């Protein structure tokens, strides 16, 4: 399943408020992103996560750390439905 | 507001419990309401605004979540029972409580409050404006003095949130509670508590938050730390729409209108022989609820006549603040309370004054 033509990254946050705050800041900063349900096998966390193109990692990191919204964890999408834990 | 509630109730969806579209919509309603609260009260970080079912729940959380046995707390004599009863409960558990009396106009002197601070004082609690006399209290001066001495300030803004400008950071307030259903024009069953970052507070209710589900311990980050269980997202969707309206309109302009109406009301009442109002005569020193008594007539009789004769609905009796009434000398019979709001017109105030004159058998 070669779904991810462009490599993507999934950001998981502490809680719903933090996800939506991160969404707001990333949109304000012009980072293309999507709100997605947290993939079940990433964490047992219920709720939402943010998906961004891997190429946006640096910009996203800058924006999020400026608003004190560091993700709990970041995951690389492998394109085959699998994910690799990655530093953010 | 009613339409937003109705739309939300038909849509359903439990916020933050799932990733499906309805759950997201609902989570967004909570988020936007929180962001609007933060804007309204001058705060950067909206996560510090925790939703509650009403002001009472927020005040209980603040009082019982912060005070510990041995702590000393200072409060005014015009607090609502939603502050006094939790304080009395805490007193049984070893918290020491000092009540500072208000003057005959219902206003507490800031110097008296500060003079009551002592070693071990953990918190000062103040109603921003009394629901009995309408008197605004010197919260800014007391909070600033408290901050200098490392004492926390809890403000009960039930009578002022949405109708009197409040900038939380410049007020040096640590905790602030308000209902959604009064000046914030939201539905019943909504309210909030603001908790400044760094204030140690223990949740009164723990449980599911939709976060950290792998752990059986309550999360410590906000707002989840103090928000457990399914929230009233339907009511908060309505509150959010009301907050947007208030932000568009501007609290300053809402306040100007309130002061103008209260001024007409006080002038009118002063001109009716045998009717007396309470609280500061200066409309800029007070808020909307105007308490009054009609000589020789029980408040409930006045209330009944206003309703039957003119279709005007007022509250009569004791307004959940026995000490507030003792301060004004209106305990135990109470007062009649009339409260013009942002949708009240000058014509309605005039109609009320006519009805009051009629009760006194005076020509209208
Ligand atoms: C000064 C004051 N504090 C607290 C409350 C309690 O508010 P709620 O009914 O939202 O719990 C009220 C409501 O009457 C009030 O006037």
User: Which chain B residue has its CA at the smallest distance from A48's CA?
Assistant: B19
Tokens 């009395």, residue? Answer: B88
- B238 and B185 inside one domain: yes
Last-in-domain residue among B249, B265, B300: B249
pLDDT at res. A45: 62
Q: What is the CATH number of the domain that holds B44?
A: 3.40.640.10
Tell whether B182 is covered by a domain: yes
Last-in-domain residue among B226, B249, B272: B249
Q: What is the CATH number of the domain that holds B341?
A: 3.90.1150.10
Q: Is pLDDT larger for residue B82 or for residue A39?
A: B82
Q: Is pLDDT larger for residue B92 or for residue B324?
A: B92
Tell whether B114 is covered by a domain: yes
State the Cα–Cα distance between residues B109 and B176, nearest whole angstrom. 20
- B89 and B230 inside one domain: yes
Average per-residue pLDDT for chain B = 94
pLDDT at res. B75: 98
Please tell me the distance in Å from B209's CA to the nearest CA on chain A. 8
- B332 and B191 inside one domain: no
Could you tell me if A25 lies within 8 Å of chain B, comparing CB atoms?
A: no
- B202 and B257 inside one domain: no
Q: Which domain holds residue B177?
A: 2-249
Topology adopted by domain A8-86: Alpha-Beta Plaits (3.30.70)
Contact (Cβ atoms closer than 8 angstroms) between residue B67 and residue B270 = no
SS3 A88: coil
Confidence of residue B160 (pLDDT cuts 50, 70, 90): very high
Tell whether B30 is covered by a domain: yes
ipTM score of complex: 0.87
pLDDT at res. A4: 47
Residue-wise pLDDT tens digits, B97-135: 999 999 999 999 999 999 999 999 999 999 999 999 999
Q: What is the 3-state secondary structure (H, E, C) of chain B?
A: CHHHHHHHHHHCCCCCCCCCHHHHHHHHHHHHHHHHHHHHCCCCCHHHEEEECCHHHHHHHHHHHHCCCCCEEEEECCCCHHHHHHHHHHHHCCCEEEEECCCCCCCCCHHHHHHCCCCCEEEEEEECECCCCCEECCHHHHHHHHHHCCCEEEEECCCCCCCCCCCHHHHCCCEEEEECCCCCCCCCCCEEEEECCCCCCCCCCCCCCCCCCCCCCCCCCCCHHHCCCCCCHHHHHHHHHHHHHHHHHCHHHHHHHHHHHHHHHHHHHHCCCCEEECCCCCHHHECCCEEEEECCCCHHHHHHHHHHHHCCCCEEECCCCHHHHHHHCCCCCCEEEECCCCCCCHHHHHHHHHHHHHHCCCCC
The predicted model gives B318-327 an average pLDDT of: 89
A-interface mutation test, from B195, B212, B240, most A Cβ less than 10 A away? B212
Ligand 1 binding pocket (C-beta < 6 A) is B 54-56, 80, 82, 127, 131, 156, 158-159, 179, 191, 320
- B236 and B301 inside one domain: no
pLDDT at res. A55: 94
What percentage of chain B carries pLDDT values higher than 70? 98
Q: Is pLDDT larger for residue B69 or for residue A86?
A: B69
pLDDT at res. A82: 81
Q: Structural domain tally of chain B? A: 2
- B255 and B190 inside one domain: no
- With contacts defined as CB-CB under 8 Å, which chain B residues touch A70? none
- B194 and B111 inside one domain: yes
- B238 and B262 inside one domain: no
Q: To the nearest 10°, the Cα dihedral for B281, B283, B287, B291?
A: 30
Tell whether B364 is covered by a domain: no
pLDDT reading at B151 higher than 60: yes
Tell whether B185 is covered by a domain: yes
- Name A40's Cβ contacts closer than 8 Å, sequence gap at least 6: none
- B89 and B46 inside one domain: yes
Q: Are strands B191-195 and B275-277 parallel, antiparallel or unpaired?
A: unpaired
Residue-wise pLDDT tens digits, B26-35: 899 999 999 9
The predicted model gives B330-359 an average pLDDT of: 94
| pLDDT one digit per residue (tens) for chain A, 88 residues | 445 468 899 999 999 999 999 999 999 999 999 999 888 777 756 688 999 999 999 999 999 999 999 999 999 988 777 888 888 8
- B237 and B315 inside one domain: no
Q: B158: CA distance to ligand 1 center in Å?
A: 5
The predicted model gives B191-199 an average pLDDT of: 98
- B169 and B230 inside one domain: yes
pLDDT reading at B16 higher than 80: no
Last-in-domain residue among B249, B269, B289: B249
- B240 and B277 inside one domain: no
pTM: 0.94
The predicted model gives B333-338 an average pLDDT of: 94
């Amino acid at each position: 399943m070669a779904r991810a033509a462009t490599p993507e990254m999934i950001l998981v946050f502490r809680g719903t408020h933090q996800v939506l705050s991160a969404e707001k800041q990333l949109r304000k900063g012009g980072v293309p992103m999507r709100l997605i349900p947290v993939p079940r096998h990433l964490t047992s966390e219920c709720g939402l996560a943010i998906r961004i193109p891997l190429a946006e990692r640096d910009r996203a990191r800058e924006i999020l750390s400026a608003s004190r919204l560091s993700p709990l964890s970041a995951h690389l999408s492998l394109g085959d439905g699998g994910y690799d834990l990655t530093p953010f | 507001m009613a339409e937003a509630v109705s739309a939300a109730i038909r849509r359903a969806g439990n916020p933050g419990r799932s990733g499906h579209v309805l759950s997201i919509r609902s989570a967004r309603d909570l988020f936007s309401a929180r962001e609007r609260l933060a804007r309204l009260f001058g705060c950067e970080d909206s996560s510090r605004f925790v939703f509650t079912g009403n002001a009472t729940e927020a005040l209980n959380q603040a009082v019982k979540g912060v005070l510990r046995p041995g702590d000393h707390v200072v409060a005014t004599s015009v607090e609502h029972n939603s502050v006094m009863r939790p304080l009395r409960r805490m007193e049984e558990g070893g918290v020491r409580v000092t009540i500072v009396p208000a003057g005959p106009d219902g206003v507490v002197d800031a110097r008296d409050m500060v003079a009551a601070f002592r070693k071990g004082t953990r918190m000062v609690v103040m109603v921003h404006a009394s629901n009995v006399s309408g008197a605004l209290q010197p919260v800014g001066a007391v909070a600033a003095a408290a901050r200098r001495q490392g004492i926390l300030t809890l403000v009960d803004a039930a009578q002022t949130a949405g109708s009197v400008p409040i900038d939380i950071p410049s007020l040096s307030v640590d905790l602030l509670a308000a209902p959604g259903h009064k000046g914030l024009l939201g539905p019943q069953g909504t309210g909030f508590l603001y908790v400044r970052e760094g204030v140690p507070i223990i949740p009164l209710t723990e449980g599911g938050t939709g976060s950290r589900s792998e752990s059986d311990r309550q999360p410590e980050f906000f707002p989840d730390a103090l928000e457990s269980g399914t929230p009233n997202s339907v009511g908060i969707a309505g509150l959010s729409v009301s907050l947007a309206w208030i932000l568009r309109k501007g609290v300053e302009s809402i306040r100007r209108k309130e002061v103008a109406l209260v001024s007409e009301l006080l002038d009118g009442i002063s001109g009716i022989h045998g009717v007396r109002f309470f609280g500061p005569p200066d409309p800029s020193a007070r808020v909307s609820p105007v308490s009054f008594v009609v000589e020789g007539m029980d408040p409930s009789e006045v209330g009944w006549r206003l309703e039957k004769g003119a279709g005007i609905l007022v509250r009569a009796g004791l307004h959940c603040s026995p000490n507030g009434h003792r301060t004004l000398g209106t305990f135990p019979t109470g007062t009649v309370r009339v409260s013009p709001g942002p949708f009240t017109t000058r014509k309605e105030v005039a109609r009320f004054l006519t009805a009051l004159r009629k009760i006194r058998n005076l020509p209208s």
